[in-house]
Structure 1
C-alpha cells in the first residue's frame, strides 16, 4: 500500500517513541519471558510459553504496523499556514446553528484523533466537510444524530504542545 498517512509532527513523534519503546524494551522482555517459559519443559502443555508467544505476536504486529505508518507518513506542520481556509492541523471553532453551542476541533491524522480532547480525524465527516472552507462559512454535516449545520467562527494553528 502506498497511500500517504497524514499526521502532525507531534503525532509522528509519538509513533516514533512508541516504536522505539517496543523495539528496545518490550521485544527483549518478551524474548526473555519465552526463554524462561521454554526452560520449564514440555512446550505442548506450557501455558506460560504459549501466552508469551501470543504476546510476542501482538508486539511484532504492532511494530510492523508502526513501521509501515511511519514509512508512509506525510508530516504536515500547519504552523505558519494562513488562517483563511481550513486545512490539516487547523483548530477550528464552530457554532452549532441549532443549539448555539460553540465547539472547537483540531483536524489531525487518524492515529491522533481523540474526540474527548477535541482532536478529530481528517477522514471524519465533520473534518471532510470543513476542509477548504473559509472563515464565516456554514457547512452541513451528516453525523450519527442526523444533519448539523455548523458555522466557522475561527481558524487557527496552535503551536505544538
Structure 2
C-alpha cells in the first residue's frame, strides 16, 4: 500500500480519534446493543438495528484510521528545507492582483485538509498550481 503523507499534528489527531473510538464510542455502542436486546424480538427492534448500524460505522472508521496510521509517512514540517518550492508542509501566500487581497494556505495531508481553514491537501488539484 502507498505511504500516506501527514504532519505530526495530523497523525496525532488520528491517534486521538482512534483512542476515542476504541475507549469511549465502541463500549457505548456495545452497551446500547445489549440494552436493545433486552427489549425482545430483534426483527422489529429499531433500537437494536440502529445500534448495530452505528457499530458498523465505528468499526469501519477504526479500521480506516488504523490502516492510515500503519501506512503513514509522518513528516515534521519544521525540519523541511526551504528551497523555494511548494512541497508538503509549505506555507504559500497568494495575492489577488485585482483586489490586492492576500490569502495564505498550507499544504497538508488529505486527512488534515480543510479549505475553510486554508489547509489544502497535497493531493488536491490546486496544490500543483502553486509551483507555476
TM-score after normalising by structure 2: 0.92
Counterparts of 1:3-152 in structure 2 under 5 Å?
Answer: 3-83=2-82, 84-130=84-130, 133=131, 139=132
Segments of 5+ residues of structure 2 without an aligned counterpart are none
In 2: Cα distance, 1:4 partner to 1:120 partner: 18
TM-score of the aligned structures, taking structure 1 as reference length:
0.77
Shift of 1:105: 0.4
**May I ask how many residue pairs the two structures share in their alignment?**
131
- Once the two structures are TM-superposed, the CA of residue 93 in structure 1 deviates from its matched residue by 1.1
Aligned alpha-carbon RMSD (Å)? 1.3
- Structure 1: which 5+ runs fail to align? 134-138, 140-161
Looking at structure 2, the residues matched to 10 and 118 of structure 1 have their Cα atoms a distance apart, in angstroms, of 16
- The 4+ residue runs of structure 1 with deviation greater than 4 A are none
Whose helix proportion is higher, 1 or 2?
A: 2
Is the strand fraction higher in 1 or 2? 1
